Amino acid sequence: MVIYHLSTECYPIAKVGGLADVVGALPKYQNKIKGINAKVVMPWYNKPFVYDHEFELVFDGFIHQGSNMLQVQVMKEKSDVLGFELYMVKIPGLLDRDNPYGYQDESFQFLAFQQGILHWMCAMEIKPDILHCHDYHTGLVPFMVKNCPEFQFLKDVKTIGTIHNGEYQGMMSWNMANYMPAFDSYKWGLMDWNGMMNPLASMIKCADAFTTVSEGYLEELFISFRGLESLVRQEFGKAYGIINGIDTEVWNPATDPMLDFNFNHENAVAQKKKNKEKLCKEYGLKPNLPLFAFIGRFATEKGADLLPDVVWKSIKQSYGALNIMILGSGNTYIENKLKEYDYTYTNFAVDLGYKEHLSHKIYASADFLLMPSRVEPCGLNQMYSMRYGTIPVVRYTGGLKDTVEDISTGGAGLNFTYAGVDDIVHAMNRALGIYNQKKVMEDLIHANMNFDFSWEKSAEKYIALYNS
């Protein structure tokens, strides 16, 4: 069975969030299953990976976007170093930039990406069994293969759409239809939602099946989905929740080259302490006090707007008996407020930016990881932290509900119900109670490390879905 994963992100080439981690790992694990050949297609970026690896040109052609003729080149990484065939679509002027997102003309970029992929496949007579589309950036592919005469060759190919984050739907004005490959105009409704072209809605309507990255998140989408609730309810017969795994080869505390002190079950407690001491020293924190960490985008869906108040309130209430360290970036108000508190409180440190190495060090060093998410489709941070023996303190929502159970019911983490400052601080107080019981704390470190979040199970679930 040949599967092409279509995505704008893939670790380690280009990562903005969890989408990259999933697309960098899932195909690798699928390829370990007999009879499966999973590949990845992504846009070309000016990233170190593309200069450090050898690529061959496997296709050179043209597509039309409105009256513009665009050159499309498909480059294949020669050695399959990532555990799957990697193809990168280069469209000079549109898909040859530094980053996946943040450009004014992103609608043109993603349209060209999708059209370029399908044009290449048709021209080269590549007919996969499955086209697996990830998020709205490739959400129009199911519509295009079924309804655009230009891609008639792929008409019978089955399509799957995975929603990693339903907050982003890629809505465009209907003017963009002028830049689409030709389609029968009476089919416009398959791309429409409330008078806009909506690629995510179109993916839900047109894909043979669609998935969300946890069961908990799927349930929530029936009730709240930025306007698409009724659509998911309508299409629920082809909806599946499949929880993400983590790449346990990359995220292995025993071998992770990004850690200062590697550790395993036997020496976790002592080695984590050393990691923490080093990190605290670097950031002027106090290694003898518990360390709470937050890693992520400063967006309201992550509850990041609550963090400044959580910082001052928890430090005040505990009389300075804890440390907090935050790694992330995004909303400038939150960034500035946290920077201000960094100067004000000796127990608090923030590092603004995207730093893969530092994130690994924090997962390994912290005692507790905070996730006050309002929306969390799956969440990978809690799984990384658990694998690194760090206790997750999470809001009971989406994928967090599916992966973190509270200690009061036999789990190894802490849950709270509301994304509000008081609830978070209350959960932190519970965490402080645990921290002061040495044996309980050590048992929890080991219990968290013991959880199995490897990809194998979920990779099998996707294959079962493809087969069906």
- DSSP-based helix, strand, coil % in the chain, nearest 5: 45, 20, 35
Told to check if 413 binds ligand ADP by CB under 6 A, we report no
Q: How far is the CB of 24 from ligand ADP (least distance, A)?
A: 10
Query: Which of 292, 303, 287, 294 is closest to 432 using CA atoms?
Result: 292
Contact residue for ligand ADP among 4, 7, 10, 18 (CB under 6 A): 18
> Which residue type does 95 have?
L
d(CA 288, CA 244): 35
Q: Is 295 in the site for ligand ADP (CB under 6 A)?
A: yes
Number of Cβ atoms within 10 Å of the Cβ of 177 = 14
- Of the pair 21, 342, the CB lying nearest ligand ADP is at 21
Among 89, 380, 425, 427, interactor with ligand ADP by CB under 6 A: 380
Stretch that binds ligand ADP, among 137-145, 149-157, 204-212, 292-300 (CB under 6 A): 292-300
356 touching ligand ADP, by CB under 6 A: yes
Other C-beta atoms lying within 10 Å of the C-beta of residue 194: 9
Task: List binders of ligand ADP among 314-333 (CB under 6 A).
Answer: 327-329
Based on the shown chain and the rule CB under 6 A, indicate whether residue 17 belongs to the binding site for ligand ADP: yes
Residues 6 or more apart in contact with residue 155 via CB below 8 angstroms: 145, 146
Least separation in angstroms between residue 12's CB and ligand ADP is: 11
Q: Which residue number, 65 or 381, has a Cβ lying nearer to ligand ADP? A: 381
For residues 110 and 120, which CB has a smaller minimum distance to ligand ADP in the complex? 110
Number of H helices, E strands in the chain: 16, 17
Q: Compute the distance between CA of residue 243 and CA of residue 184 in angstroms, rounded to an integer.
A: 37
Q: Which secondary structure element, helix H or strand E, spans residue 130, and what is its range? A: strand 130-134
Cβ-based neighbour number of residue 258 at 10 Å: 14
| Of 401, 17, 418, nearest in space to 220 by CA | 401
Q: How far apart are CA 316 and CA 312, in angstroms?
A: 6
Query: Who contacts 347 (Cβ-Cβ below 8 Å, separation ≥6)?
Result: 285, 286, 289, 315, 320, 322, 323, 324
CB 131 within 8 A of CB 140: no
- CB of 144 vs ligand ADP, minimal distance in Å: 26
Residue recorded with tokens 């002061």: 436
Which residue has its beta carbon closest to ligand ADP?
Answer: 18
Q: Residue 386, interface with ligand ADP (CB under 6 A)?
A: no
Size of the site for ligand ADP (CB under 6 A): 19
Quickly count: other Cβ atoms within 10 Å of residue 78's Cβ.
Answer: 12
Taking CB under 6 A as the criterion, the residue among 199, 296, 392, 398 binding ligand ADP is 296
Check residue 385 for interaction with ligand ADP (CB under 6 A): no
Tell me which amino acid residue 420 is. G
Among 8, 275, 381, 403, contact with ligand ADP (rule: CB under 6 A): 381
Question: With 0-12 CB in 10 A as exposed, 13-18 as middle and 19+ as buried, what is 273?
Answer: middle
Name the residue nearer to ligand ADP (CB basis): 43 or 398. 398
Task: Provide, rounded to whole angstroms, the least separation between the CB of residue 181 and ligand ADP.
Answer: 30
Nearer to ligand ADP, 272 or 374 (CB): 374
Q: Which is nearer to ligand ADP, 35 or 353 (CB)?
A: 353
* Torsion angle (degrees, nearest 10) of CA 290, 295, 298, 304: -40
54: amino acid identity, one letter: E
Measured from the CB of residue 389, what is the shortest distance to ligand ADP in angstroms?
Answer: 16
Least distance in angstroms from the C-beta of 42 to ligand ADP: 16
- Give me the least distance between CB of 224 and ligand ADP, in Å please: 17
**Contact stretch for ligand ADP (CB under 6 A) within 34-42, 106-114, 294-302, 315-323:** 294-302
CB of 217 to ligand ADP, least distance (A): 11
Report the nearest approach of ligand ADP to the CB of residue 403 (Å): 11
Separation between Cα atoms, residue 192 and residue 206, nearest integer Å: 12
Does 166 bind ligand ADP (CB under 6 A)? Our answer is no
State the Cα–Cα distance between residues 62 and 151, nearest whole angstrom. 14
461 known ligand binder: no
Q: Smaller CB distance to ligand ADP: residue 245 or 328?
A: 328
Q: Which residues bind ligand ADP (CB under 6 A)?
A: 17-19, 21, 165, 295-297, 327-329, 354-356, 359, 378-381
Annotated binding site for ADP-alpha-D-glucose: 15
